[in-house]
Amino acid sequence: MKQIINGKLGAKVRAVLIATVLLASVMLVAVTVRNLQDKVDLLNSKVSDLEWQVSNLDSGLSDLYSEVNVLEAQVLGLESRLGDFDSQVDDLESKMYFICVYLRNRPWGC
């Protein structure tokens, strides 16, 4: 048996064993590469989904900014009207004061 392993047949057996190990290694590498490619494809899909979500969020933020601008314009308009009402109240108070002063100076009083 030693002669078979050490002889020409032994060299052939060693060569077949080495070839088998190399083939198994190559197949293992191929499976690993395929698994990695599947993971890369999955990550690419997730990146694509995230990009789509970010795009939608940008659109939503633009809509919110537009709404805020409209509301801000409405608030400014209301503040302006409030200022007008405030000045009208001041005018009425002033007129009422002068009316009371006028009436107090009358003989029958206020």
Mean pLDDT over 80-93 rounds to 90
For the full predicted model, state whether its pTM sits above 0.85.
no
pLDDT tens for 20-46 read 999 999 999 999 999 999 999 999 999
pLDDT of residue 55: 87
Query: Does residue 74 fall inside a structural domain?
Result: yes
CA distances from 94 to 80, 97, 104 (A): 21, 5, 15
> How sure is the predictor about 13, in pLDDT bands with cuts at 50, 70 and 90?
confident
Buried b (16+ CB within 10 A) or exposed e, 66-98: eeeeeeeeeeeeeeeeeeeeeeeeeeeeeeeee
pLDDT at 7: 58
Q: What pLDDT does 12 receive?
A: 78
Q: How many domains does the chain have?
A: 1
Q: Is residue 110 in some structural domain?
A: no
- Cβ count near 45 (within 10 Å): 10
Residue 33 structural domain: 2-104
